[in-house]
Amino acid sequence: MTRIRCITEMGMGVDVHGRDATKAARRAVSDAIRHSSLGFFRMLGKTAQDMYVDVTIGVPDPAAVDVDAVATELPYGTVTVTAVAGGLEVEPVLGSTSTDLRGGFGGLDGRALQAGDRLAVGERAASPARGLQVAPWWIDANPLPYAHPPAEPCTIRLLPGTDVADGVSGPTWRADARSNRQGLRLQGPALQVADRGERISEPVAPGTVQLPPDGQPIVLLADAQTHGGYPRIGHVIRADIPLLAQMRPGARLRFLPCTPVQACAANAEQRQRLHRIALAIDARTRAR
């Protein structure tokens, strides 16, 4: 039976900590199907069994990929998974073989793949370096501050906002029972901004501290909206947001002014420690 090529998608996947080729391949397939329309067969009056899905995985060591496990990522059709050595041969641009569709460069002539395109298999890449290792017996002597309920009042580092409100970093604030995943409402002395004029909505993100008309700050959290019209009187640094997310109603906190340089250093330290913990967990898992 003649097959008709309908969709070609590309995906990328990595496994930073475990260097597991199968995990990376499954993530690449999952990434690719997020961009595709594999369910289109319903509009053509077809069933899932009418579809054939051919997957090609480029990895340094094809034998390390469990192709059956990768095939389980595909929700429809008759699936064939092939692992090839060295990935695909594409001319690097600015040190990358990815494609920038908006800029029109990289990949294959800077465009999306089309039916009939042919990509050569590249030479096998050198084996990756062993990477950082952590002994299985290693224990972090200084647990992360949000591993256990912090001492009160908890210190939260704050970057300056676009609006000025005196008294943000002075008093002790309490977490309001009305808080949720969208924002942590605080109770304390009512604040006012110098400029009380009307504002147009501006971009916000988790960590943004907004000041509604009642003068009680709200710190936006994981489910924050993308824009808002309240004055933005500060921004909690990324490293301290987990502390806010775990605060119970009535918990106390204080804001400590922080500079962008200090915020970047705190974020780098936090990521380094989390990465070290992940390596230790991986080492213990492998040691079993």
| CATH number of the domain that residue 48 is part of | 3.30.1330.20
Strand-pair category, 52-59 with 183-187: unpaired
Report yes or no on 119 lying in a domain.
Answer: yes
**pLDDT above 60 for 221:** yes
pLDDT tens-digit series, residues 172-184: 999 999 998 899 9
Is the residue at 281 inside a domain?
no
Concatenating the DSSP letter of every residue in 131-174 gives -----TT---SS--TTSSPPPSSEEEEEEE-SS--TTSSSS-EE
Mean pLDDT calculated for residue range 75-98: 78
24 in any annotated domain: yes
Q: Are residues 184 and 112 in the same domain?
A: no
39: pLDDT strictly greater than 50? yes
Going by C-alpha positions, the residue among 180, 167, 168 that lies closest to residue 247 is 180
pLDDT band at residue 128 using 50, 70 and 90 as cut-offs: very low
Q: What is the pLDDT of residues 13-35, one digit of tens each?
A: 666 555 688 888 888 887 777 65
> Cα 192–205–161 angle (5° rounding)?
35
* pLDDT in the model for residue 241: 92
Q: Please tell me whether residues 127 and 1 are part of one structural domain.
A: yes
Predicted confidence at residue 127, as pLDDT, reads 46
Name which residue leads in pLDDT, 84 or 148: 84
d(CA 173, CA 216): 9
CATH number at residue 245: 2.40.100.10
Q: Which domain holds residue 7?
A: 1-131
pLDDT at 129: 43
Instruction: Give the mean pLDDT of 251-271.
Output: 91
Cα dihedral 149→150→152→156 (10° resolution):
-130
DSSP letter assigned to residue 226 = S
Same domain, 22 and 77: yes
